[in-house]
Structures are given as C-alpha cells and as structure tokens.
Amino acid sequence: MAGGKLIVFSAPSGSGKTTIVQHLLKQERLNLEFSISATSREPRKGEIHGHDYYYINLKQFKQHIKDEDFLEWEEVYRDNFYGTLKTEIERIWANGKNVIFDIDVVGGLRIKKKFPKETLAVFVKPPSVDELKIRLKKRKTESEEKINMRIAKASVELATAPQFDFIIENIHLDVALKEAEDLVAGYINENHE
C-alpha cells in the first residue's frame, strides 16, 4: 500500500471530532476523502451503508479479521466491531486523495504505528467529562446506560491523548475548526514541497 497522507482524528464520543472532520472534507485545497469504517453494529436512524459505515454482520466481520482484510480493527463494545478495510484506503489513494479518519483512539494509534511517516494523528479533547455528558445527552441517540458506557470509556481515552501528534482542545468550535484546518494544511503541504 502506497499513496497519499493519512490524517487521523480520534476522540471520545461527543468531543466534536466528526464535526471537525466534516468541516475539513469541505476544504477542497486539502484534497481529502473520508475513510468509511466497517462496523458490525446496526445502522442508526438515517445512516446509510457505504456512506456512514460499511455495515457487515458479525460473522462476516470476524471472517474479514481472519482473512487480514483490515488495516486496523477493534471490538469497541461487546460484539460491536469497527475497522478500516485495506481496500478502502487503496480506493482513496487510487483517486489521488489524502485519507481522513474519524476513528476511535485505539484504531487511530494503530494506524499511526503502522504508517508513522504518512500519518498525522490528532486527538480532539473535550473541555471536560461533564461537558461530554451534556453533549451526548443532547444528541438523544442513545440510552442513559449507553451514555454512561461512553463516559467511562472517555476517561480511558483521554489518558491516550499524549500519544498523538497534536491535541486540539474543542472549547470553542470555530477556534478548533481553524486550528484543525491549519494543522492539516501544514502537514499536507510540508510533504509536497
């Protein structure tokens, strides 16, 4: 596998990484394409196969693991697998684009470890765990139990922040968006001059 750059954005759920990644994808000068992850979980309301995720049943997902089809994969919650198919990265690089990931911290660090020279790994940090809980509740997409699971996981994820190349603290979204844009543009340009 050889091609463009890999831009990884990782964070606890509710930190704003998806909003930041969506903003960056709209910046044509960055020449980014989104890496669609595969998952064994059911689609949420409004999510589309091949756009939000590649929805693969548990048996098929485990077969892909066995066949080493993933660049990285993780059992995020019990029987809830997420991963990046190698074919997805190859597809994006074949289009002459840089790959951007919206991915959990374990997956993000695995990509950085496998491709240290090609990867910019960015951790998006929420202002606080309390603020994270407020954001997750505002989404109204998950039960109180699921939210509490995500909050418990967030504490562990926050401890990994120093392992990333950069940390963006998302207190004011407009500031975080500008910081992310400058960071990614600088990374892409420094390697193409």
Distances (CA, A) of 29 to 77, 98, 103, 189: 36, 11, 23, 10
CA distance 29 to 188: 10
In a domain, 113, yes or no: yes
Q: What is the pLDDT of residue 150?
A: 81
What does each of the 193 residues of the chain score in pLDDT, given as a tens digit?
A: 556 899 999 998 888 899 999 999 999 999 999 999 999 999 988 999 999 899 999 999 999 999 999 999 988 778 899 999 999 999 999 999 999 999 889 889 999 999 999 999 999 998 888 888 888 788 877 788 888 888 888 888 999 999 999 999 999 999 999 999 999 999 998 755 4
Q: What is the pLDDT of residue 165?
A: 97
pTM: 0.86
Written as one string, the DSSP assignment of 126-166 is PS-HHHHHHHHHHHT-S-HHHHHHHHHHHHHHHTTGGGSSE
In a domain, 1, yes or no: no
Other CB atoms within 10 Å distance of the CB of residue 171: 13
Q: What is the pLDDT of residue 169?
A: 94
* Chain-centre distance for alpha carbon 134: 21
Q: What is the pLDDT of residue 19?
A: 94
Q: What is the CATH number of the domain that holds 118?
A: 3.40.50.300
Q: What is the pLDDT of residue 122?
A: 98
Beta-bridge partners for 77: 80
Q: What is the pLDDT of residue 50?
A: 93
In a domain, 12, yes or no: yes
CA distance 82 to 74: 5
| 192, 98 contact by CB (below 8 A) | no
The tally of domains found in the chain comes to 1
CA-based nearest residue to 143, from 53, 44, 48: 44
Q: What is the pLDDT of residue 193?
A: 44
Which domain does 60 fall in, by range? 6-190
In a domain, 149, yes or no: yes
CA distance 152 to 134: 14
CA distance 156 to 154: 5
